[in-house]
Amino acid sequence: MTDTTLDNTVPAARTSPFPLKKAAALGALLLALLAAPIAIGDQFISHIFITIFIFAGLSTAWNIVGGYAGQLSLGHAIFYGIGAYAGVMLMNMGISPWLGMFAGAAVSVVVAVAISYPCFRLRGPFFSLATIAFLEVFRVLALHLREFTGGATGLMIPLKFGWEWMVFRDRTPALLIAFGLLVVALAVAWWIRSHRLGFYLVATRERQSAAQAAGVNTVKVRLIAVSASAALTAFIGTFHAMYLTFIEPAAMFSLTMSIQIAMFALIGGLGTVIGPLVGALFLVPLSELARGWLGAQALGLHGFVYGVVLVLVVLFMPNGLMGILSRYLGNATPQRGTQSASVAATPRAAERPPIGNDILIADHLDKHFAGLHVTNDVSFSLKEGEILGLIGPNGAGKTTVFNMLSGFLKPDSGSVKVRTEDGSWQAPLTPGDFAAIGVGRTFQIVQPFAAMTVEENIMVGAFHRYRDVNDAREAARETAFRMGLGPWLHAEARGLTIGGLKRLEVARVMAMKPRILLLDEVMAGINQTDVRRAIDLMLSIRDSGVSIIAIEHVMQAVMSLSDRVVVLNSGQIIAEGKPQNVVRDPHVIEAYLGKEFTHAQA
C-alpha cells in the first residue's frame, strides 16, 4: 500500500483552466477570422464573415443560459428583436443606435427576468415550449402595434451613414463592429465560466439539490445568467438591424433563428466557451455559400442539412465538436483499479476534543406524506464534537428526518434549532439557511457535478467560504488532499469509483467548512477496505471539531464510529444510547429481525 498523500505540503497549483497555449490559439484564430475577409476584400466574403460573427455572438450569448445554466430557451429571438426594434425606433427619433443598443438591452433584461422567473420551475421541454410561446406573443404584438413597429410592413432605418449611426457603405467597418461584439460576448462567456458564477450555474444545471445544499441561490444565479445573455443578444440585435437596414416581425422574432443559435451551440459543444463559435464557423458558411451559389433551387437545402446534422450530432456526438476535440487533446480519466491503492490512511490528532453541549436540537418533528405518518414525534439532540448514528430498518424514515434537518422538507409540526458560533439558537428554514449556519449534508444517491473535474466539484462547496476563484481553488485542493482525493484533482468526476464518489461528496461538503455534518449512508456499496478507510476519515473529521450525524446500515461502521445511536422504526424513535447497548436492546433486535426470531434464538 503506497502512502503517497497526506504530507502537509500540497503540491503547487497546476495551470489555470484557460492555459496560455489555449488562449494563444484562440487569439490567433480570432485574428485570422478578422484578417481574412479584410485581406480578401470581396463584399460577399465579408458578408459571410459578418454573418458568422453575428451568429457566433448570438450563440455564445445563448450558451450562457442554454449551455451553462441548462435552460433550453428556444425563444431567444425575443431579445434580438427587442434590440433591433429599439435601435431602429430610436434611430428614427434621431438617437444614435449606440445608445439604442443600451436601451434595447435594458428592456431585454427586464423582459428576460419577468419571463424566466416563473418558468424556471418548468422541466426541460416545457421550459422550451414556454419560451416559444413567449416568442410568438412578441411576434404577434409586434405585428399588432403598428403605430410603433410598422407592423407587417416593417421598419426601415433612415439612411444616415457613419460611425455615429452604425451604417456604412463599405462592409469593413461593419465587419469590425460585428467582430467586436463577438469578442465582447466571448469575453463575458469566458468570464462567467471561469468565475464563481459559472461554477454555480453548472452545479445548478447538474444537480440542483446538491447545489442548494452547498449554499447556492439557484434562482438568483440563473436570473443573472439570463440577464447577461439577454443584454448581449439585444446588443447584437441592434447592430444587425443597422446592417440589414430593414426589419419586420417575422424575421426579428423568428423561431427558426432561435432554433439555429441553439443548434450552433449544441453542435459546437454546449457549456463550453468557444463551442458556439466553432459550431457557427462550421455551419454558417455552409448555408450562406449554398444560398449564394444555388440560389432559389437551394431553398430549404441548408435548413435540411442543419436539421439532419442536429439529429446526427445528438445521436452520435452529444458533446459536440468540442467534445471530440477535447478527447484528442486528452483528459486524464483515472484507471478504476489504481484508485483504491493510493488512498492512504488519514493520520489523526492524538486526542479528540471533548464532547460539548447540544449544538442541534430536533424538537417533536412530525411529517405526513399522502396519508402516511412518516415521522412521528421525533426528538433528539446532537452534542458538539460527537458522532451520532441514526439507524433503523428499511423504510423507517431516516432520510426524511435528514431532509428536515437540512431544509429540504418542512416538518408539519416541530422545529429544528441550531446553535450558532456565538452561542445563540436559530431555526433555519431553507437549504441556503442551513448552509449559512454551518450545516452541510451529503445525499444518499451520490452524483457528482458530472461536467466538472474533481477539483471543480469541491470548489462549488469552497465558494461558500471564498468568493475568489483562486482562493476557492486553493481551499478545494487542500480539502481534496485531506480526503485522499489528491491524485484525481484534475480527473473528470464521473470517472471515479463509487468509493471515490462518496469521498468527493464528503469533500464538497467539507470545503464549506461546516460545523455540523449530515452524512447519508456514505458507507453503502463500497468494499471492505474502503469502509475501514472511510471510518478513519470520519474520525479525523470529527477530531477537527465537526459534529456529525450519520445514517448508516453498515453496522461495523456504526459500532466503531458512533458515540451515541438513535434507532428509528416506522417513523418513531425506539431506542437511544450507546451503540453497544442499543444493539442489544430487544426492541431494536425485534425491529430488525422480527420478534419471533429472538424467541427462536432463545
What whole-number distance in Å separates Cα of residue 215 and Cα of residue 439?
10
In sequence order, the β-bridge partners of residue 162 are 167
- Give the separation between CA 587 and CA 524, rounded to whole angstroms: 24
Site for another protein in 502-541 (CB under 8 A): 521, 524-525, 527-528
Contacts of 22 (CB under 8 A, 6+ apart): none
Question: 3-class SS at 389?
Answer: strand
In terms of CB distance, is 238 or 258 closer to another protein?
258
Closest CB 582 distance from another protein, rounded Å: 10
317-336 footprint of another protein as x/- string (CB under 8 A): -x------------------
Among 38, 183, 290, 301, which residue interacts with another protein (rule: CB under 8 A)?
Answer: 301
Best CA proximity match to 404, nearest among 372, 436, 384, 429: 429
DSSP per-residue letters across 422-462 = TS-EE---SHHHHHHHTEEE--SS----TTSBHHHHHHHHH
488 touches another protein (CB under 8 A) = no
Are residues 506 and 519 in contact, defined by beta-carbon separation less than 8 angstroms? yes
User: In this chain, which of 68, 80, 134, 488 binds another protein, going by CB under 8 A?
Assistant: 134
In this chain, which of 92, 172, 194, 208 binds another protein, going by CB under 8 A?
208
Contact status: 307 vs another protein (CB under 8 A): yes
Which residue of 64, 65, 74, 177 would you call a contact of another protein, by CB under 8 A? 74
Residues 263-282 interacting with another protein (rule: CB under 8 A) = 263, 266, 270
Residue 310 CB, nearest distance to another protein (Å)? 3
* Amino acid at position 119, single letter: C
Cβ-contact 441, 518 below 8 angstroms: yes
Q: Of residues 17, 47, 136, 172, which one binds another protein by CB under 8 A?
A: 136
Nearer to another protein, 172 or 560 (CB): 560
Q: Could you write out the DSSP letters of every residue in 483-531?
A: TT-GGGTTSBGGGS-HHHHHHHHHHHHHTT--SEEEEESTTTT--HHHH
Closer CB to another protein, 33 or 211, in the complex = 211
Cβ distance to another protein smaller for residue 256 or 357: 256
* Residue of 26, 122, 436, 535 that binds another protein (CB under 8 A): 122
Within a 10 A sphere around the Cβ of 46, how many other Cβ atoms? 20
259, 273, 416, 522: residue in contact with another protein (rule CB under 8 A): 259
Q: Which of residues 375-404 bind another protein (CB under 8 A)?
A: 393-395
Q: Which is nearer to another protein, 259 or 439 (CB)?
A: 259
Q: What are phi and psi of 334, to 5 degrees?
A: -65, 140
The least distance separating another protein from the CB of residue 119, rounded to whole angstroms, comes to 7
Kindly give the pairing relationship between strand 564-569 and strand 572-577.
antiparallel
Collapse the DSSP code of 426 into the 3-class scheme (helix H, G, I; strand E, B; otherwise coil) and give the result: strand
CB of 116 to another protein, least distance (A): 11
What number of chain residues touch another protein (CB under 8 A)? 79
Residue 432 in grid coordinates: 441556503
Q: How far is the CB of 217 from another protein (least distance, A)?
A: 16
From candidates 302, 367, 473, 503, binder to another protein by CB under 8 A: 302
The 43-72 site mask, x for binding another protein (CB under 8 A), equals: -----------------------x---x-x
Sites for another protein among residues 432-451 (CB under 8 A): 450
Residue 548 pairs in a beta bridge with: 387, 517
Can you tell me which of 118, 295, 330, 423 binds another protein, judged by CB under 8 A?
Answer: 118
Positions 562 through 581 that interact with another protein (CB under 8 A): none
- CB-count exposure of residue 215 (10 Å: 0-12, 13-18, 19+): buried
Binding part of the chain for another protein, among 125-133, 356-364, 375-383, 416-424 by CB under 8 A, reads 125-133
Q: How far is the CB of 597 from another protein (least distance, A)?
A: 4
Does 295 help bind another protein (rule: CB under 8 A)?
A: no
Give CA separation, 56 vs 5, 76, 271, 520, in Å.
45, 14, 14, 45
DSSP H helices in 207-334 = 208-213, 218-244, 249-252, 255-268, 275-294, 301-316, 320-329
Q: In terms of CB distance, is 291 or 383 closer to another protein?
A: 291
Residue in 353, 272, 282, 267 with CA at minimum distance from that of residue 312: 267
Tell me: does residue 558 bind another protein (CB under 8 A).
yes
Which region among 104-112, 238-246, 293-301, 476-484 touches another protein (by CB under 8 A)?
Answer: 293-301
Contact 178, 50 (CB under 8 A): yes
Which residue(s) pair with 362 in the sheet?
380, 416
